[in-house]
């Protein structure tokens, strides 16, 4: 039985799961379908980006007590281990 898709994108999405990979070891951390928009009142900035083919992914900027700024995305599921080191 042949499946028909409305577009190339739909065909691609049906066949390919896109993963966010660890930069150091290549481990699959989370997948595109699990990205979520969860806002925080503590963020000092927000922007949207296309990540893993998902448009409008919310990226929030935070600042820790030492003044270091970092960005965060949110996801439903993640497969990580605690590295035991705080930066
Ligand atoms: Zn890793």
DSSP string for 17-48: --EEE-TTT--EEEEGGGEE----TT-SEEEE
Q: Is the pLDDT of residue 12 over 70?
A: no
Ligand 1 mean position to 27 CA, how many Å?
A: 5
Q: 81 or 37, which is more confident?
A: 37
- Considering the domain delimited by 8-75, tell me its CATH architecture: Roll (2.30)
pLDDT score, position 80 = 86
Task: For residue 85, report the distance from its CA to the centre of ligand 1, in Å.
Answer: 13
pLDDT at 4: 67
Q: What percent of the chain has pLDDT over 90?
A: 67
- Distance (Å) from CA 20 to ligand 1 centroid: 11
**Band of pLDDT at residue 83, cut at 50, 70 and 90:** confident
- pLDDT for the residue numbered 20: 93
What pLDDT was estimated at residue 6?
67
Partners of 31 in the beta sheet?
Answer: 19
User: What spacing in Å lies between the alpha carbon of 49 and ligand 1's midpoint?
Assistant: 23
Biggest alpha carbon distance in the chain? 60
pTM summary value: 0.71
Backbone angles phi, psi at 83, to 5 degrees: -75, -10
Residue range 58-67: mean pLDDT, rounded: 96
Q: Concatenated DSSP letters for 44-83?
A: SEEEEEEETTEEEEEEEEEE-TTS-EEEE-EES-------
- The Å distance, Cα 32 to ligand 1 centre, comes to 18
Domain ranges of the chain: 8-75
């Amino acid at each position: 039985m042949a499946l028909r898709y409305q577009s190339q994108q739909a065909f691609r999405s049906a066949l390919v799961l896109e993963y966010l990979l660890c930069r150091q070891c290549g481990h699959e951390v989370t997948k595109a379908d699990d990205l979520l928009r969860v806002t925080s009142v503590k963020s000092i900035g927000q922007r949207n980006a296309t990540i893993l083919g998902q448009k409008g992914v919310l990226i929030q900027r935070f600042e820790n007590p030492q003044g270091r700024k970092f960005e965060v995305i949110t996801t439903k599921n993640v497969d990580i281990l605690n590295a035991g080191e705080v930066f």
